[in-house]
Amino acid sequence: MSHAPRTGDNSPRRPGGGGVLRRTVRRHRGRLAVGTALLCVHQLAETAVPIAIGVIVAQAIEPGSVTALIWSIAALAALFAVLTAAWRIGARLIVRAMQDEAHRLRVEVARRILDPRGVRTDLRSGELLTVATSDAEREAWILDVIPRVVAALTAAIASAVALLLVDVTLGLAVLIGTPVILGAMQLAAPLITRRVTDQQAAVARVSAMATDVVAGLRPLRGLGAEQVATGRYRAVSEDALAATLRAARSRGIFLGVSVTVSALLAVGVAGLAGWFALSGRIGVGELITVVGLSQFIIEPLGMLSRTPGDLASARASADRLALVLDAEPMVPEGTRDVPDGGGLALRDVHFRSLDGLTVTAEPGALVGVLARRPQDGEALALLLSGHVPPDEYRGAVEVAGVALADLEHTGARRTLLAEPHHTDLFAGTVESNIRTDGDAGARATGDVADDLREPLVASAASEVVDSHPQGTGLVVSDRGANLSGGQRQRVALARALARRAPILVLHDPTTAVDAVTEQAIAEGIADLRHGERPGDRRRHTTLLITSSPALLAVADRVVVIGDGRVVAEGSHAELAAADDDYRLGVLR
């Protein structure tokens, strides 16, 4: 089956950052509703405090009634108890929802990134890390912004109503002034959103470059290119700093202006109330109420003034999350089951530097592939990894006669394992890096589990574990930094062999080991996967993409690729005797 490139994009429209925010609100609507209601109760109680104090002055202190004063103080204490309880419970619900959402988003992004079908995105590893951490946390801020805005509006409206009851002019000043301030603030929201988005993208680029530099630290030192890498990182970091300062400047100016305007409104209302009190239009108790409300209303107005900036941060992070969560898989989900006992075939494949490549590996065969150009070997290994979308190559890639793209993906990965040349080890132990079933624990005695002994011996990784008292419990640091290049390569090879995949593709698995170890590995691979073993009736197929004479010598057949297509084929001995180019490229 051949796959031609697509001519258009008919994929459904994705919801984007707005959809991510709406989904967040929907799945926490219970906690959000209760928390918002409790915060509104808190703000109403806060609004009632200056009103209550004004009433106490007018009804208890001015008349000199001790009984009224006692009852008033008791009522004020109850009011404070209500506002405190409402805040504690409401804030706890909101924070719980925020933390839960941030956790869910981190898990979803990680699951999406680790999807075996891949993900179509231009984001690099460091940027994906930023999306899964800081962007997930910032997007969850929407669950804090909504209840705070609703509570602030409730307080502003309640204060305005209370002022209307005291004096219509004072109430109208708040009812008219608050919407005017909010409308003016919204004019700056798009600019803040753009600058916050630019800032977060710049910071993500810095994280990506930092990840690349740390991962390639050893090669950089070997090449003496530390200064070049440092210069590039400094340039990207300076861009991120400039973007951060622009965003901070915009938000600072916006916040300063909005808070100043809100404070001027409150001061104006208090001054007007003082004038009314002097003229006898309102009493002393009412004046105290108005002054208290004028001071209190600065807080909700300040909260409303910060809303556009907080919404901008949440929306910018939601947009970046959507780049990952809404991204299509690189490889579509196949529906066909993987047939048993099949081989591997590539027919007239055109991909990158491959130009009409046809290679077959029959069931049970050990096939060597010599690529005269490194890019041909890399393209072949990548294509067989199953991570290349079918619209990016032409020709047929078949497992047991069925197109690789049509196979159910989990089954296809169990059947066909393509181990890349550059592999990573993870923090843990040697055993946890080799096992893929998650059942790994450090063995204090240094003994090797029976099911791991054969892969360790075949990959010569047994030398690594046997030389340490911890055995397979030997601690491995992140990326295997505490192991040599050859040790890392052997442990990675042991991991691939331990999978016992029916079809195994190895790309240059021995470039970091010496010739003696390489010979032992070649014989170990041939024996483990193609030797006679009692009770093992599976017919393993192995494809070795390599220029190693030791590995090519144990192959049943060697295929030579030149200029993206097969140019020679035969046994290692036959090609070494008859083909000068082969002899020159292989024999050392």
**pLDDT value, residue 209:** 67
- Distances in Å between the alpha carbon of 540 and those of 112, 384, 565? 32, 16, 25
In terms of phi and psi (left: phi > 0; alpha: psi -120 to 50; beta: otherwise), the region of 199 is alpha
CB atoms within 10 A of CB 224: 8
pLDDT tens digits, one per residue of 229-276: 677 777 777 777 777 777 777 767 766 776 677 677 767 777 777 787
Contact predicate 404/578, CB 8 Å: no
Among all chains, which residue has been given the structure tokens 């409104």?
A: 265
**pLDDT value, residue 107:** 93
Could you tell me which residues come within 8 angstroms of residue 230 by beta carbon, excluding any fewer than 6 positions away?
A: none
Contact predicate 549/583, CB 8 Å: no
Phi and psi, residue 344, nearest 5°? -125, 140
Angle 16-27/298-325 helices, nearest 10 degrees? 110
pLDDT tens digits, one per residue of 399-408: 988 998 888 8
Q: Which of 407-411, 480-484, 531-535 has the least mean pLDDT? A: 531-535
Q: Which of 88-102, 296-310, 355-369, 571-585 has the least mean pLDDT? A: 296-310
Structure token digits, residue 399? 């497992």
Q: What is the DSSP track for 58-119?
A: IIIITTT-HHHHHHHHHHHHHHHHHHHHHHHHHHHHHHHHHHHHHHHHHHHHHHHHT-TT--
Whole-number Å distance between alpha carbons of 402 and 395: 13
Whole-number Å distance between alpha carbons of 11 and 152: 42
Average pLDDT (504-509) is 95
Whole-number Å distance between alpha carbons of 164 and 283: 15
Whole-number Å distance between alpha carbons of 17 and 196: 14
How would you list the strands of the sheet with 565-570, edge to edge?
A: 416-419, 503-507, 541-545, 366-371, 557-562, 565-570
Q: What is the DSSP track for 219-245?
A: HHHHHT-HHHHHHHHHHHHHHHHHHHH
Residues facing 418 on adjacent strands: 505
CATH numbers and ranges of domains, the chain: 16-325 (1.20.1560.10), 344-586 (3.40.50.300)
Question: 53 by DSSP, 3-state: which?
Answer: helix
**Nearest by Cα to 548 from 510, 576, 492, 584:** 510
Tell me: pLDDT of 16 over 60. Answer: yes
**pLDDT value, residue 485:** 85
Question: 374 by DSSP, 3-state: which?
Answer: helix
Tell me: pLDDT of 528 over 80. Answer: yes
Tell me: pLDDT of 287 over 80. Answer: no
Whole-number Å distance between alpha carbons of 416 and 414: 6
Whole-number Å distance between alpha carbons of 489 and 493: 6
Q: Between residues 304 and 363, which one has the greater pLDDT?
A: 363
Structure token digits, residue 163? 């002022």
CB atoms within 10 A of CB 576: 18
Residues facing 371 on adjacent strands: 561
Contact predicate 411/417, CB 8 Å: no
Contact predicate 350/376, CB 8 Å: no
Phi and psi, residue 477, nearest 5°? -80, 175
Q: Which of 230-234, 449-453, 569-573 has the least mean pLDDT? A: 230-234
Q: How confident is the prediction for the chain on average, in pLDDT?
A: 82
Runs of H (alpha helix) within 279-387: 284-296, 298-325, 374-384
Tell me: pLDDT of 69 over 60. Answer: yes
CB atoms within 10 A of CB 50: 21
Q: What is the band of 187 on the pLDDT scale with cuts at 50, 70, 90? A: low
Average pLDDT (322-347) is 84
**Nearest by Cα to 420 from 375, 368, 384:** 384
**Nearest by Cα to 204 from 140, 138, 142, 125:** 125
**pLDDT value, residue 255:** 66
Q: What is the band of 313 on the pLDDT scale with cuts at 50, 70, 90? A: confident
**Nearest by Cα to 83 from 155, 134, 20, 174:** 155
**pLDDT value, residue 308:** 75
**pLDDT value, residue 185:** 63
pTM, two decimal places: 0.67
Among all chains, which residue has been given the structure tokens 């899964």?
A: 132
Whole-number Å distance between alpha carbons of 258 and 306: 8
**Nearest by Cα to 145 from 297, 285, 1, 311:** 311
Specify the pairing of strand 475-476 against strand 428-429. Answer: antiparallel
Q: What's the first-to-final CA gap in the chain, in angstroms?
A: 40
Q: What is the DSSP track for 170-216?
A: HHHHHHHHHHHHHHHHHTTHHHHHHHHHHHHHHHHHHHHHHHHHHHT
Q: What is the band of 8 on the pLDDT scale with cuts at 50, 70, 90? A: very low
**pLDDT value, residue 445:** 46
Structure token digits, residue 161? 């109503």
Tell me: pLDDT of 34 over 80. Answer: yes
